[in-house]
């Protein structure tokens, strides 16, 4: 005990049991856990970006089409606008939550949902268009990395949209409880995070691919 | 978009067909019969004793971190046994199939295993030992011990905890299914590009391997998040960072590694899946694929994973040495720093698994130096343990023997690791059994620490000690086996014997291989000793019951609560005053002081949803392996629907009232006073339930299990 005796209280007066200890705060505990999950999600994207980096040399495309041949920067920019407006709408909804306005929140979530669907529709249209020109995952290593990275992001958007629908239903049925508010906060982190990832996808995959 | 498959496929059953059942295999068919008979016997016994309800209520649907931890450890021990049998088969094949004159049976030219079957055996051995034995054993211990050591009632997310367990169980079930339906991968436990591509491995083996790993990665990531949040958020009052027991620090550093590295594995295998299922070209030979990309991505996870499993083992040793040296741990702060140094460096060394890739002298030098750096914090730990024992009052209990054994193995494994860190040496012994002997020394550190911990914490979880004689017998048998198997293996490595040989061409190696075979026989005896140990200990459990402080010299917080630990861990949250709280209270004569009053506590409800989702992930993995697309879709949708339904219902939990708590505490204290007289006076009268629940799940409108008690005095001093 000698090493840290100065930190330890007198055993005669020390508090041994905390009867009134109320444990941890539910929402902050959940938010921390969800934040950690997003870190692992970030690692997934980091690894995919690394794979894309390794597979974006000239020889990775095996003489076939490269992103410079098929990327339409303005088309993809419209996706960027849709996703960012979706995040903005979600943020407006969350400010309504602070005012405890259920209608405001639902409007924000609906706006985020519609704009997210728009993003996804543009993405699917793009993928189908590429496939019609024979540009699929099976084309070459470089195209595999391009398509898998962008579509893993799109899959995140799909599940985020599903989650928004679930939250609209839960807020309508259950109101603002610790559970629903905690989930809305986690979903906000998730939605913002996917937009941040999109910034990297747009710059390093679409624009960089277009210009190289 | 899906790739064209060699062989048959139909929409209903995918690739599944009668011809995929190896009923004509002379090894697997009898094993299958034995497994079926054993399964029927277990089901019959449970039915005969009417234990289905108990099993369902107390184990299958539980969210109690201790029970989940015990189930993790059971999975780990069962899979350790399966991995051991694989090892036994490998050793027997190598001792048998030596030289051109060696005989062959069961269709093998030499020995008794065909090369394809042998490839599956060593692949399964590696995968099982790392991800289904070591990982669940350590996660199980972290699950049980960490919340009690920090004075929490449960993990931060009890339901997520159950989910992690059942997904891990699904992974175990999937790899076991590969024994009897189809086959397993033959590409080694870590896989090589492009051998695992569909052109070269058209069977389902690689798919089993891939989806098993995916399930285990998912389960471990979920568990990692849970443990991190638990340690950060759930510490009892007074449990400051530098009062955390070292095992908690070790768990924290290990789970930071798990959280950041397992996603890399998931991506690496996801890209393999894209190649095999969608015809992508990530790792193909030709068409722009990159073979070494896979190896890099895999080991970017693989090496951190090695430290993910070794750090908790170091934490266990750090708990065992002080208790049986009757001294506080030497160099607490340096131990913490060393753990985080190891965790940090773990990310910078992956390339030392393939120096021979030929990345050039600059890259190899960087990774060589980074690898050698690991030796510094590890050396700090070794010296800390040695100084903990130095001039201590040593008791050579079985747990202490296992910990000391781990220390010796760490020395051998660590020094050979330093040799391998030098690229010049590494080129010479690359893929030789010298490397195999090295990492088995390191993984045996984990096995030794785990068996030490089983003995050390068994009385805390079950309330009685394991039999010392049989525990020591097992230790000496196991250690003899270790020496006999791995000393010749180091020697053979220097002689140039490469790994994974199903046929050994050099007859001069046979004496060494026969000694190793003798070693594995001794290992088998130690397995029997373990079964005897369990039998004898359970038979004599009444005699071996213990009080709260099972060893009498224990130090950390978990030894303050009763043995076995009640489902609520601590009736009243302890206030932590010292780094070694239990030792501090004992030294000051207040170890037996009980809380002055009890208040209502809030506990999570059991749930079967985690079990259902776990079962569905097995179905999903199986359907993906056999390419039964409708079943993939159905199970995936079912998982999502279950999650949504569960989130809608939520878990209000339930209240254990102060009166109920007091009754249970009185019983536990009375029992302990009978055993060792250490527990203090039980509180007289108790106190009324207060309005607010003790755990802030923020619900006060909950049903209670009984009525509040009457007012009473109840003073502590």
Confidence of residue B704 (pLDDT cuts 50, 70, 90): very low
Subunit contact B274:A28, Cβ cutoff 8 A: no
A17 contacts B716? CB cut-off 8 A: yes
Model pTM score? 0.93
Confidence check: pLDDT of B689 > 60: no
Taking the CA of residue B300 and the nearest CA in chain A, the distance in Å comes to: 9
Give B206-230 pLDDT, tens digit per residue: 999 999 999 999 999 999 999 999 9
The CATH number of domain A25-57+70-211, selected from 1.10.3720.10, 3.30.1050.10, 3.30.70.890, 1.20.120.80: 1.20.120.80
Q: What is the mean pLDDT of residues B638-661?
A: 91
- Tokens at residue A70, please? 């098929």
B691 near A CB under 8 A:
no
From chain A, the residues in CB contact with B640 under 8 A are 162
Q: Which of A43, A136, A174 has the CB atom closest to B264's CB atom?
A: A43
Query: ∠B349-B355-B361 over CA atoms, to 5°?
Result: 95
pLDDT score at A15: 87
Q: How large is the average pLDDT for residues B257-264?
A: 95
Q: Does A13 touch chain B (CB under 8 A)?
A: no
The yes-or-no verdict on residue A150 having pLDDT over 80 is yes
- For B242, the closest chain A residue by CA position comes to A4
- Establish if A6 touches chain B: CB-CB under 8 angstroms: no
Q: Which residue has the higher pLDDT, B694 or B345?
A: B345
* Cis before B194 (ω within 30): yes
Q: Range with the lowest mean pLDDT among A142-151, B213-222, B481-490, B542-551?
A: B542-551
Q: Are B218 and B140 in contact (CB under 8 A)?
A: no
Residue A206 corresponds to which tokens in the numbers above? Answer: 């679409």
Q: Does the beta carbon of A124 lie under 8 angstroms from any beta carbon of chain B?
A: no
The CA-atom distances, in angstroms, between B124 and each of A170, B37, B185, B619 are 45, 23, 8, 20
Taking CB atoms and an 8 Å limit, are B595 and A17 in contact across chains?
Answer: yes
pLDDT greater than 70 at residue B294 = yes
d(CA A86, CA A74): 18
- Which residues of B fall within a CB distance of 8 Å from A15? 238, 575, 577
Determine the average pLDDT of the residues in B263-275: 96
Residue B277 corresponds to which tokens in the numbers above? Answer: 């299922």
Burial group, residue B708, by CB count within 10 angstroms (0-12, 13-18, 19+) = middle
Q: Which two tokens stand for residue B468?
A: 């010392």
With cut-offs at 50, 70 and 90, classify the pLDDT of residue B96: very high
pLDDT of residue B22: 82
What is the average pLDDT score of chain B? 90
Tell me what pLDDT residue B7 has: 78
- Cβ-based neighbours of A46, under 8 Å, separated by 6 or more: none
Paired tokens of A56: 């974006």
Nearest residue of chain B to residue A6 (CA atoms): B578
Pick the residue from chain B with its C-alpha nearest to A23: B695
CB neighbours of residue B717 within 10 Å: 8
Top pLDDT among B548 and B91 is at B91
Q: How high is the pLDDT of residue B687?
A: 38
| Cα(B7)–Cα(B13) distance, integer angstroms | 13
| Angle at B506 (CA atoms; ends B500, B509), nearest 5 degrees | 80
Cβ-based contacts of B643 with chain A (< 8 Å): none
A187-205: b or e for each residue (b if 16 or more CB lie within 10 Å)? bbebbebbbebbeebbeeb
How large is the average pLDDT for residues B444-453? Answer: 97
- A166 in contact with B, Cβ within 8 Å: yes
**What's the pLDDT score for residue B17?**
87
pLDDT at position B679 is: 56
Domain boundaries in chain B?
Answer: 395-558
Classify B602 in phi/psi space as left (phi over 0), alpha (psi -120 to 50) or beta: beta
Distance to chain B for A121, nearest Cα, Å: 20
Please report the pLDDT score of residue B710 as a whole number.
32
User: Residue B576: how many CB atoms within 10 A of its CB?
Assistant: 25
Binned at pLDDT 50, 70 and 90, residue B680 comes out as low
Q: Among residues of chain B, what percentage have pLDDT more than 90?
A: 81
Residues B184, B185, B189, CA angle at the centre, nearest 5°? 120
User: Which two tokens mark B458?
Assistant: 């068994």
Q: Is B577 on the interface with A (CB under 8 A)?
A: yes
Mean predicted confidence (pLDDT) in B12-32: 85
- CA A159 distance to own-chain centroid: 10
- By Cβ distance, the residue of A11, A15, A166 closest to B644 is A166
Q: Residue A170: which residues within 8 A CB-CB, separation 6 or more? A: A179, A180, A183, B647, B648
Tens digit of pLDDT for each residue in B134-145?
999 999 999 999
Q: Is the pLDDT assigned to residue A7 strictly greater than 90?
A: no
Q: Average of pLDDT values for B260-281?
A: 96
Q: Which residues 137-166 in chain B show a CB within 8 A of chain A?
A: 153, 156-157, 160
CB of B684 within 8 Å of a chain A CB? The answer is no
Report pLDDT for B209: 96
| DSSP per residue, B202-231 | -SSHHHHHHHHHHHHHHHHHHHHHHHHHHH
Residue A158 contacts B where some CB pair is shorter than 8 Å:
no
Look at residue B685 and tell me whether its pLDDT is greater than 60.
Answer: no
Domain residue ranges in chain A:
25-57+70-211
**What's the pLDDT at B650?**
81
What number of CA atoms fall less than 13 Å from residue A89's CA on the CB side?
18
């Amino acid at each position: 005990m000698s090493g840290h005796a100065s930190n330890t209280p007198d055993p005669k007066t020390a508090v041994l049991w905390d009867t009134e200890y109320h444990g941890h705060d539910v929402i902050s505990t959940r938010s921390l856990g969800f934040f950690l999950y997003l870190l692992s999600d970030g690692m997934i994207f980091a690894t995919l970006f690394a794979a894309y980096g390794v597979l974006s040399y000239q020889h990775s495309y095996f003489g076939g089409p490269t992103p410079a041949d098929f990327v339409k920067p303005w088309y993809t920019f419209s996706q960027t606008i849709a996703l960012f407006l979706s995040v903005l709408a979600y943020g407006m909804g969350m400010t309504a939550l602070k005012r405890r306005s259920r209608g405001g929140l639902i409007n924000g979530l609906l706006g985020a949902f519609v704009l997210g669907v728009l993003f996804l529709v543009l993405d699917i249209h793009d993928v189908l268009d590429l496939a019609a020109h024979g540009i699929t995952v099976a084309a070459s290593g470089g195209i595999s990395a391009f398509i898998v990275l962008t579509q893993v992001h799109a899959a995140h958007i799909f599940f985020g949209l599903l989650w928004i629908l679930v939250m609209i239903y839960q807020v309508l049925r259950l109101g603002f409880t610790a559970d629903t508010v905690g989930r809305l906060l986690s979903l906000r982190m998730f939605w913002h995070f996917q937009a941040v990832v999109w910034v990297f996808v747009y710059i390093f995959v679409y624009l960089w691919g277009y210009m190289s | 978009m899906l790739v064209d498959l060699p062989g048959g496929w139909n929409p209903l059953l995918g690739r599944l067909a009668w011809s995929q059942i190896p009923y004509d295999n002379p090894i697997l068919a009898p094993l299958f019969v034995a497994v079926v008979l054993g399964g029927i016997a277990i089901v019959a016994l449970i039915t005969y004793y009417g234990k289905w309800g108990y099993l369902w209520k107390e184990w299958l649907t539980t969210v109690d971190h201790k029970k989940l931890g015990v189930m993790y450890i059971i999975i780990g021990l069962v899979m350790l046994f399966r991995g051991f049998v694989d090892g036994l088969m490998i050793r027997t094949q190598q001792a048998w199939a030596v030289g051109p004159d060696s005989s062959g049976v069961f269709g093998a030219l030499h020995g008794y295993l065909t090369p394809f079957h042998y490839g599956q055996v060593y692949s399964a051995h590696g995968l099982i030992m790392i991800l289904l034995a070591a990982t669940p054993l350590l996660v199980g211990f972290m699950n049980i011990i960490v919340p009690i050591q920090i004075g929490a009632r449960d993990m931060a997310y009890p339901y997520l905890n159950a989910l992690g367990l059942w997904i891990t169980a699904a992974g175990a079930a999937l790899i076991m299914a590969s024994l009897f339906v189809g086959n397993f991968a033959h590409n080694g436990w870590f896989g090589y590009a492009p051998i695992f591509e569909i052109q070269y491995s058209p069977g389902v083996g690689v798919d089993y391997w891939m989806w098993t790993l995916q399930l285990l990665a998912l389960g471990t990531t979920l568990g990692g998040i849970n443990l991190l949040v638990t340690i950060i958020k759930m510490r009892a009052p007074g449990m400051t960072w530098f009062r955390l027991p070292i095992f908690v620090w070790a768990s924290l550093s290990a789970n930071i590694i798990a959280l950041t590295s397992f996603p890399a594995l998931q991506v690496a295998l996801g890209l393999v899946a894209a190649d095999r299922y969608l015809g992508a070209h990530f790792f193909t030979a030709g068409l722009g694929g990159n073979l070494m990309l896979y190896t890099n991505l895999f080991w970017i996870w693989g090496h951190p994973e090695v430290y993910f499993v070794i750090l908790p083992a170091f934490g266990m040793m750090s708990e065992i040495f002080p208790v049986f040296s009757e001294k506080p741990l030497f160099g607490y702060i340096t131990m913490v720093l060393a753990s985080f140094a190891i965790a940090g460096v773990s990310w910078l060394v992956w390339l030392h698994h393939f120096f021979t890739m030929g990345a050039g002298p600059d890259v190899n030098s960087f990774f060589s130096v980074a690898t050698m750096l690991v030796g510094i914090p590890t050396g700090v730990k070794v010296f800390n343990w040695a100084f903990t024992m130095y001039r201590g009052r040593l008791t050579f209990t079985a747990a202490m023997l296992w910990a000391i054994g781990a220390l010796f193995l760490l020395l051998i494994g660590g020094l050979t690791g330093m040799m391998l860190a030098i690229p010049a040496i590494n080129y010479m012994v690359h893929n030789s059994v010298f490397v195999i002997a090295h990492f088995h020394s390191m993984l045996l550190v984990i096995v030794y620490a785990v068996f030490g911990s089983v003995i050390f914490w068994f009385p805390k979880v079950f309330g009685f000690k394991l039999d010392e004689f049989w525990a020591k017998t097992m230790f000496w048998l196991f250690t003899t086996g270790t020496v006999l198997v791995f000393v010749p293996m180091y020697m053979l490595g220097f002689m140039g014997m490469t790994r994974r040989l199903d046929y050994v061409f050099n007859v001069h190696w046979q004496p060494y291989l026969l000694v190793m075979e003798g070693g594995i026989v001794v290992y088998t005896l130690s397995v029997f000793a373990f079964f005897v140990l369990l039998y004898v200990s359970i038979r004599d459990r009444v005699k071996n019951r213990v009080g709260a402080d099972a060893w009498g010299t224990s130090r950390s917080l978990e030894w303050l609560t009763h043995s076995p630990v009640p489902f609520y861990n601590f009736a009243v949250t302890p206030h932590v005053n010292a780094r070694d709280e239990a030792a501090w209270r004992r030294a000051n004569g207040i170890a037996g002081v009980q809380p002055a009053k009890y208040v209502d506590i809030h506990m999570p409800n059991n749930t079967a949803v985690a079990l259902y989702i776990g079962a569905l992930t097995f179905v999903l993995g199986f359907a993906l392996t056999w390419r039964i697309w409708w079943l993939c879709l159905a199970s995936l949708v079912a998982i999502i629907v279950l999650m949504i339904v569960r989130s809608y219902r939520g878990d209000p939990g339930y209240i254990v009232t102060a009166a109920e708590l007091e009754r249970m505490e009185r019983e536990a204290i009375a029992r302990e006073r009978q055993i060792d007289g250490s527990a203090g006076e039980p509180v007289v009268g108790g106190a009324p339930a207060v309005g607010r629940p003790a755990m802030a799940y923020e619900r006060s409108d909950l049903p209670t299990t009984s009525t509040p008690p009457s007012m009473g005095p109840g003073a502590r001093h």
